[in-house]
Amino acid sequence: MSDACRAGALSAIAAVNQDAACPLEFVPVERDPGGNIDRYAAGCADILATSNARHIIGCVTSWSRKEVIPTLERAGGTLWYACPYEGFEANEHVVYMHACPNQHLVPMISYVAPRFGANGFLVGSNYIWGWETNRVARDLIADAGGKVLGERYLPLGETDVSRLIAEIEATRPDFILNNLIGTSSYAFIAGYAELARRDPHFGPERCPILSCNLTECELSAIAGVGDGHLSAGPYFHDPDAHAWSDTVSASMPASSFEASAYASVCALAEILARNPTAQWTDLPKAFAGRTFQSPLGDIAIDPQTQHATLPVQIGRIEGTAFRTVSLSKGIAPDPYLSRYDRNAEFGRPGLRVVS
């Protein structure tokens, strides 16, 4: 995932540097914390202290983002964050360029509940993403008229999923919301495919696995066992959904991580082209009343929350790609779910006829 973000940022930097119309040249300054949580704040501080860079594109996990925020606040830097997250944050030193819950989880449950049923089983890694996402999902499932048939967490990196699978088999939900990350997620998807072979109820056409952070980057890890399951995101590399020609398709980012990192550099280039010394204090004004060209389409960034307005897509896994099954454009961010309206999302609670 971090490789995808890096690839997106570097190819956007190359594009900006080649663009004769753009008066800027970007020189990337890189630090690799290597996934070691204690090295993020130090790397961030080092960039801000030893170079004139004021904008950092990076971090994948929420934990690493929260680690660098105090450093950004002290040194006056900005983080352009290109990954989906669990919401409930709006820091002035962060620009949130990937989806927040009203752009992934809410549309996912709204899509699935009427088609597959509203009873869900929640699984997650013992980590902020799983806890917060499942917490909101409990409300959404109740609002959709369903029941949470189970909620289970695995330690980060755990690959023994047998108990989880047994519980799902026993409770027979309509869908499973998967907030496991990394190897736990791959082990779970493989174990679930085996369950589906024993019992057709658990096939993806009857009881799909839903993810809100699964992209093309991870499909090779679940090749052959992930087909038919669903993921939500602002972008999938699906040429048919966008009517891309082969040439266009080859030039488009391979995943939403790459696309969001690319979009971050595009927006930053447009801002710096107008004001080469723009820093965090200038951003709300720079975001107001305009859009930025990007592989995600022309996107706006809300000056108040610094979250991007994004397309929302639901994709179905087909081999190592996603087939888009639902696409809505221009979904404004609502990181605190302040505008969430259960009636608008799931219809009024059904009145039962009492005879």
Partner 1 sequence: MSRISRIPNLGGAKAFVLHRPHPNVQAITRQLSAIGLDAADCWPELPAEALAADFVFFDTDLGFDEQMPWPAGQAPMPLIALIGSEAPGRIEWALSQKADAQLLKPVGNAGVYSALLIARQAFEARRRLADEIAALEARVAERQTIVRAVTALSAQGFSDERAYAQLRSLAMGWQVNLEDAARRVVAMTQEEGSDDQSHRA
Work out how close the CB of 110 gets to partner 1 at its nearest, in angstroms, rounded to a whole number: 14
Work out how close the CB of 153 gets to partner 1 at its nearest, in angstroms, rounded to a whole number: 17
Minimum CB distance to partner 1 smaller for 139 or for 169 = 139
Give the tokens for residue 180.
């496991």
* Length of the chain as a residue count: 355
Point out which residues bind partner 1 (CB under 8 A).
69, 73, 88, 90-93, 135-136, 138-139, 142, 304-305, 334-340
Work out how close the CB of 142 gets to partner 1 at its nearest, in angstroms, rounded to a whole number: 6
Minimum CB distance to partner 1 smaller for 41 or for 193 = 41
Q: In what order do the strands lie in the sheet with 78-81?
A: 55-57, 78-81, 94-96
Minimum CB distance to partner 1 smaller for 73 or for 199 = 73
- Give the SS3 label for residue 341: coil
Note the helical H segments in the chain: 2-18, 40-50, 62-75, 105-116, 128-143, 162-171, 183-198, 239-242, 246-251, 256-274, 283-287, 342-346
- Contact residues for 233 (Cβ-Cβ < 8 A; gap 6+): 84, 98, 99, 104, 212, 213, 214, 215, 256, 313, 315
Q: In what order do the strands lie in the sheet with 148-154?
A: 148-154, 120-125, 175-179, 209-211, 230-233, 310-318, 321-331
Work out how close the CB of 98 gets to partner 1 at its nearest, in angstroms, rounded to a whole number: 18
**CA–CA distance, 334 with 340 (Å, rounded to integer):** 8
- Give the SS3 label for residue 267: helix
Residue type, 106: V
Work out how close the CB of 75 gets to partner 1 at its nearest, in angstroms, rounded to a whole number: 14
Work out how close the CB of 270 gets to partner 1 at its nearest, in angstroms, rounded to a whole number: 23
